[in-house]
Amino acid sequence: MGEANPCVLVIDDDPEFRDSVVRLLRTIGLPARQFSSVLEFLKADPPDAPTCMVLDVRMPGRSGLELQRDLVAAKRQVPIIFITAHADVQMTVQAMKGGAIEFLTKPFRDQDLLDAIEAGLARDRARRENDSALATLRERFDMLSSREREVMLGVVAGRLNKQIANDIGVTESTVKVHRVNLMRKMKARSLPELSRMADRLNRSLQQPQNF
């Protein structure tokens, strides 16, 4: 995956506020896309780039908190910075429990918003890099034959070649051949590295799909 320019999504029903955020971001060279409502945002294609969202809490139609709940339910991950003119403790707690980066109450300092946006973009950039590396691992694992996968499971479980051969009903020399082949296909330079790959693949089955 090549390096993509980051993008900030600004969702607020106040056009003056949206314009002010876009102008602020322009001063540091960050592009932004504006949306006047949650519905308008949902109709648009998500950017294929590191992304974060500046989101108003209260808007006509669906609220920012409802959008956050929808994204969490759909297992779509995007860092969110909430903006509101009127906050209360319950609202703030709900937003932060949902994974928000920051909850800013108007008026706020421009630098506070920029700091939150930078943190959000950094988080999403790391997430995208992790997803790319994991996709590469899955591609390598998919190249293994069913027998090579069996041998890999035995190897990372700490079984000896003789034990693996007995487990799956083949000769020890056959296990050695499969072991060499799977290490080459997985591009694993050592047993500890192969074990880390297997652990990462296993954990990925429990992870949400991303934005």
Which pLDDT belongs to residue 106? Answer: 85
pTM as predicted: 0.78
* Order of all β-strands in the sheet with 80-84: 32-35, 7-11, 51-56, 80-84, 102-105
**Percent of all residues in the chain with a pLDDT value above 90, rounded to a whole number:** 72
- C-alpha to C-alpha distance for 160 and 130, rounded to whole angstroms: 32
Rounded to 5°, angle at Cα 136 from 193 and 156 = 30
Interval 62-113: pLDDT, tens: 899 999 999 988 888 899 999 988 767 777 888 888 788 999 988 899 999 9
